Homo-oligomer: A and B are copies of this chain.
């Protein structure tokens, strides 16, 4: 089987890095708008050959679209226009309603698998690609009933080869939950970086005092604006709701601190501690 990856960055690059070890993949083609990324992807051995999208569609069985979600929406249609009914195309975007709507009545809709392998780092580009990025992570497949059985099976096999646990969701449901759990974290981190950069005049103090947790909390603020801009745009409705809740919560803290309501603050923190149990996997139904 021959695979192609459109966008050879952190996610696309990490996928094909692991696919190297999958026996059924004989060749990997890549394409990227950034010529430097193409060069690096070849040098790093992420792909065997750089090709145009048109050529890739002619030569491959599977195409993985791993580019910002606004561009992905167009490219998936372009690919679906040209593929035959044995080829499969999937995406990795962090919002799923838009892309699912864009292809919903396409004659080749069945060849598309709307995917979201939930993993990442704050880095980007081919040099950010790492092995085992997806190991033991969750891979979400949306609107599976709109996908042909054989296409679904191929992507399920791909996710399993990457070591992911597969979950199925409707696109809108996915977008809601991911806004609350992932997209909000990114905004909270970007806003934290901006606040500290503005309020703290001394860069040296930021560096010196970052030991105590700031580095971890602000890590996502290093993420790519090009990638995140369209995600926030596509998921604006749920994100607004999440931000409202977050700002309310911060106001509670501020009020309690202002009025020295220490027991209330203690209670809030004790409640927040419960996140440890959930992240340790001890979840209640």
Contact = CB atoms under 8 A, between A and B. Distances in A.
A258 B236 contact: yes
Given A211-B138, A225-B270, A279-B215, A233 B262 contact: yes
Interface string A82-98: 00000000000010000
A1 interface: no
Interface stretch (A99-107, A151-159, A216-224): A216-224
A246 B191 contact: yes
A34 interface: no
Interface string A105-135: 0000000000000111010000000000000
SS class, residues of chain A in contact with chain B: helix
Contact of A275 (B193, B226, B265, B270): B193
Contact of A272 (B190, B240, B247, B260): B190
A228 B194 CA distance: 24
Contact of A253 (B190, B215, B218, B230): B190
Contacts of A197: 271-272, 274-275, 278
A222 B204 CA distance: 28
A271 B194 contact: yes
